[in-house]
Structure 1
């Protein structure tokens, strides 16, 4: 899909994380929110036609629920955390994406979750792709530009730009000064609306930017997670008649399993 090793298509993938600090750049300092060890189960929708307004309403409703339960307004602590992020199934199992928040005040984006790469990046220019939400660096008071170049190659294309850092929130966890790519150019078809970027879930050794991946910054913080693991539950619509472009995709559970 977006790398030589695509996101697993099994209904449940349990990935054990390495708690040892990775070599290379010093990890950014994470601030962990206090979501409970709770997971929201998803049920497959009845096989019926759904128009774009139905899907949009579903996405907005569930995003609001996640932000209310696991967002930045939660109480803060640095021990025994866990959280969940709802996923969306795009183009009948072609890809799965979740939502992240970046900057101060936060800006929300849908990003592909990729276990075969380690870089986080967001589109900042319409030249990267049209019809998607772009990260506006000037609107964030916590954004810091490094002006270092960024380039990453996938089996399905490439993305180029520069590097910067800002506060990133995902699945109820915050990492301040998280380094990520600010992409102003991609190969044709690499991004499809509403996706604005990609979050790599592999280890730092695969990061072309050299940055500590978001999840690894969390696990490098002693006691940040209730359990050193994350789980991914994925839906399947490949053979579902009447499936639309966007369908409920499952859950990403951090520090706990579904």
Structure 2
């Protein structure tokens, strides 16, 4: 069954549809500059200032810190990043200390994504959903990730690194079962260690039996600059056809196997404004949430060789939402950038649109983007957006045009000159999946589309975001 079989038909055909309860949950954007995170950063900044005043070895510490923040990343075979070599210094220690106190130099972002992630305030950085766990239910808020295919929650045994979080207490649940297996995972934002447990999880109005990690140690979990204080655990929806590395069935697969939905499909509409939540829906496609027709692309994996790509390309990994690339073009010009040697990976945890460094440099130059600081994205006066061209990504057999209102983000900050529009195009090194280079279509791209993720057919469909409607339909298999 293809996406087209999920009821994507004209209104006259709705007699074939089954009206049923809608299984959906709000998706909230977590801002790095939320009030809670700001308070935590301010407290940490005051601590740094106090320490600097009493530190007799300040210059030595500054030298060490300078070396740390001036490093760049390189890739190693297991796709982890290690740091090497200084790439510059700071001439004025006083100015440098002031920058540190203001939190302008942050830590490990580059260790995950290279130089492509700006180290400053983004309005929307991560997305979360609310869960209830166990019987009686315990509340939790989980990071929504389409890049991971398992789940974890911090437990009451996590006493050192899980402060300020809602902790899962297995002893209070009548439905928990210990699996007897250790849980250990390294994610983009944290590493988690603990034990596998099975318990009931309630989300989107559905309750399933789900295995997950009840973790007692979480690394890199207390950095408020990445919104970590706003979420407790992780809820993964990556497209592994069966299991995660810990043999944990994907929640969507569980919903289907436990006969709670008819079709292993979910749809995602990211928040359109900081004050309006998005929506995550299971087993259902709401055609009122997009305009035009859906653009359907095959998910690249080891069993499907895309016809649009070179036969010399190797088999690809199977646990990510990844689709074929063709090119990028700019309206009103003959500019053409060939992307056939790349795959496009969809990630809700990546804030922008990650493209090859040379392409981003060319785009920023052509668009007249201004650079106003080392750790600040290039920007333009927002009044210029109407005069900027449409930039089109060609993915598979479809075109995805982006206007300047979609490839820039409005911000209001004194360090870039007040009200400006920053670029969402981010430089990426030639990151490899096997022997294939990749680009990343993060939230800067995804929030412009209503996205259908079909696990059964391993397809992804995109509908241009339109006026949100109220009629939702469930389809008969």
Provide the TM-score with structure 1 as the length reference: 0.60
Which of 148, 168, 183 pairs up with 1:135?
A: 168
Q: Does 1:216 align with 2:156?
A: no
Greater RCO (CA < 8 Å, at least 6 residues apart):
1
Deviation at 1:214? 1.6
Map of 2:235 onto structure 1: 199
1:111 is aligned to 2:159: no
Per-residue CA deviation, residues 162-205 of structure 1 (Å, 9 max, x unaligned), is 111111111121112x2110111112236722311001102255
CA distance in 2, matches of 1:132, 1:248: 24
Q: 1:210 to 1:128 in 2, by over 3 A?
A: farther
Matches within 5 A, 1:175-186: 175-176=208-209, 178-186=210-218
| Distance (Å, rounded) in 1 between the aligned partners of 2:235 and 2:245 | 13
| Aligned-partner SS, 1:216 | helix
Q: Matched residue pairs, number?
A: 173
Once the two structures are superposed, what CA deviation does each residue of 1:62-111 show, in whole Å capped at 9, x if it has no partner?
A: xxxxxxxxxxxxxxxxxx66401011100122100001111010111110
Structure 1 segment 19-168 matched on structure 2, within 5 A: 82-91=22-31, 92-124=123-155, 125-168=158-201
Based on CA coordinates, which of the two structures has the bigger radius of gyration? Answer: 2
Q: 1:257: how far off?
A: 3.0
CA RMSD of aligned residues (A): 2.5
Bigger proportion of residues as helix: 2
Matched with 1:27 is: none
SS at match of 1:118: coil
Unaligned runs of 5+ in 1: 1-15, 17-35, 38-79, 238-242
In 2 relative to 1, CA 186–218 (structure 1 residues): closer, same or farther, beyond 3 Å?
same
Give the SS at the match of 2:171. Answer: helix
C-alpha separation between the residues in 1 aligned to 2:22 and 2:265? 10
Partner Cα separation in structure 2 for residue 131 and residue 114 of structure 1: 21
Give the Cα–Cα distance (whole angstroms) in 2 for the partners of residues 111 and 173 of structure 1: 16
CA distance in structure 2 between the aligned counterparts of 1:85 and 1:105, rounded to whole angstroms: 20
Aligned-residue offset at 1:118 = 0.8
> What is the DSSP-based 3-state SS (H/G/I as helix, E as strand, rest coil) of the residue aligned with 1:181?
strand
Instruction: Tell me which residue corresponds to 1:250.
Output: 278
Q: Residues 199-239 of structure 1: CA distance to partner in whole angstroms, max 9, x if unpaired?
A: 110225561221112211112345x32554211111245xx
Normalised TM-score (structure 2)? 0.34
Contact 2:149 2:236 in 1 (8 A): yes
Runs of 5+ unmatched residues, structure 2:
4-17, 32-122, 287-477
Alignment partner, residue 202 of structure 2: 169
SS in 1 for 2:214: strand
Q: Distance in 2 between matches of 1:142 and 1:156?
A: 30
Identify if the C-alpha distance between structure 1 residues 228 and 211 changes in structure 2 by more than 3 Å, giving closer, same or farther.
closer
In structure 2, distance between residues paired with 1:156 and 1:119: 14
- SS of 2:252 mapped into structure 1: helix
Query: SS where residue 215 of structure 1 aligns?
Result: helix
